[in-house]
Structure 1
């Protein structure tokens, strides 16, 4: 059976040690743990080429290979593999204590909202907080973030999380407030609730149980597309139709997508919201 390149921690010259008996390669490695040290980075299918997905600040990865300033990694959160600029990674991995729970936030040089911001972080960024002062959280990596934008407990309603991203620009392979696609939105909502979710819509469709009725937080699928049900009549999705995150009646979307030749509707899947992973 062919390996899915998106989930296979191997390049043409080296593979993760766990694949030694199933995937022939010239060399094998246990991998090197690392963490994303910049606000956002593209995860590419080949160095410098098309983006498959994105990683947010604090994402943990396992480095499998490196060449010409690029590192081939497997993301810890969803096992997605790809090439990322090596300079965006650090081997320093202090304990993660919080996530960004607002759609976006700023990092300040001092615990004072009137000082210049030094970076911007998106929903889901993983942070190591070492202290608080004046309503700001100090990060082990440096800088201060407003405590109102952070949480150390998972949310409970993926749809409500997705609604905070209304109006976010559509971006193929995007995973942040600055740009997101359909599967990125589904993953953002579920991940904020501590529920493991694959990165692409076909993986998401395969991961969750088929249901006949539609309830809030069900995932709704078309070929290459996914939406989150708000109830049995409305959904939220990141769509190239408006190039943004929008709310749309489900039946309107089904008819519109069919008319465009992009159907058919493939039904609903129901994530188990009680099956939470480690958070943050």
Structure 2
């Protein structure tokens, strides 16, 4: 049976127990819960392989297999599967209460912005907040984050979330303020509003119904590319053309992409 590798929680040796009878493997596992404990990590197609996507701090995962220092996981956000260094994961899972809503923020050793920061977190990072002190959130995992940079409830407008990332450098497979690609931008925008969204543009196109008109929040597709409509005439996207997240008139983008031989425009789809 042929299954999409990106969404199939199985290696050649072992598969998630839910695939028993569907996928033939020497062994099966119920999986072990884990969570990303570093600010950002590449999710690879093989141990020490190519980056498929990235995952942010606090992202939940199910551990399926190990290979030396590498761990094969399925991510809870979108079901994407791949390899992470085991040292990037923790099995300590305090309840997640907040998310980073600013493009990026710093984690400090105490509730004081003049202290040396410990590390930075990107938009979409999930946090376990256990208290509030002097305008900072105290994290169960250690450190303090400024309260204006986080929220305990989802945003309501994916376009507004995407606009926070205007100017972010383009990065193939990127999913953070330090670098993002077209499907990563769309996923960050939708997941920031608790709208389930796959990680790659072809999966995103398949996930949402096609529409004949274009409204704010619609997804616009080309082969291997996706943008988010701000209006019937304007869109935002992470593009290798400018190596950044930019605004571009939709008609101009259609004409430019067609002229470059990267078309045709495949239409608009509307997230539910």
TM-score class, shorter: over 0.9
Alignment partner, residue 162 of structure 1: 162
Task: Compute the displacement of 1:68 (Å).
Answer: 1.4
Alpha-carbon displacement from aligned partner over 1:102-133 (angstroms, at most 9, x marks no partner) = 00000001100000000100000000001111
Q: 1:85 & 1:253 partners in 2: Cα distance?
A: 39
Structure 2, unmatched stretches of 5+, are none
Alignment partner, residue 21 of structure 1: 21
Question: Segments of 4+ in structure 1 off by > 3 A?
Answer: none
Q: 1:2 & 1:264 partners in 2: Cα distance?
A: 28
Alignment partner, residue 261 of structure 1: 261
Alpha-carbon displacement from aligned partner over 1:216-249 (angstroms, at most 9, x marks no partner) = 0000000000000000000000000000000000
Alpha-carbon displacement from aligned partner over 1:57-85 (angstroms, at most 9, x marks no partner) = 00000000011100000001100000001
Task: Compute the displacement of 1:153 (Å).
Answer: 1.0
For residue 117 of structure 1, give the secondary structure of its aligned residue in structure 2.
coil
The 5 Å alignment of 1:125-164 reads: 125-164=125-164
Q: 2:154 & 2:90 partners in 1: Cα distance?
A: 26
Task: Compute the displacement of 1:209 (Å).
Answer: 0.8
Alignment partner, residue 67 of structure 1: 67
* TM-score w.r.t. length of structure 1: 0.97
Q: 1:271 & 1:186 partners in 2: Cα distance?
A: 11
Do structure 1's residue 192 and structure 2's residue 192 form an aligned pair?
A: yes
Q: 2:49 & 2:26 partners in 1: Cα distance?
A: 24
Q: 2:138 & 2:261 partners in 1: Cα distance?
A: 51
The 5 Å alignment of 1:1-280 reads: 1-272=1-272
For residue 10 of structure 2, give the secondary structure of its aligned residue in structure 1.
coil
Q: 1:252 & 1:71 partners in 2: Cα distance?
A: 44
Number of equivalent positions? 272
Alignment root-mean-square deviation, CA: 0.5
* TM-score w.r.t. length of structure 2: 0.99
Q: 2:182 & 2:263 partners in 1: Cα distance?
A: 15
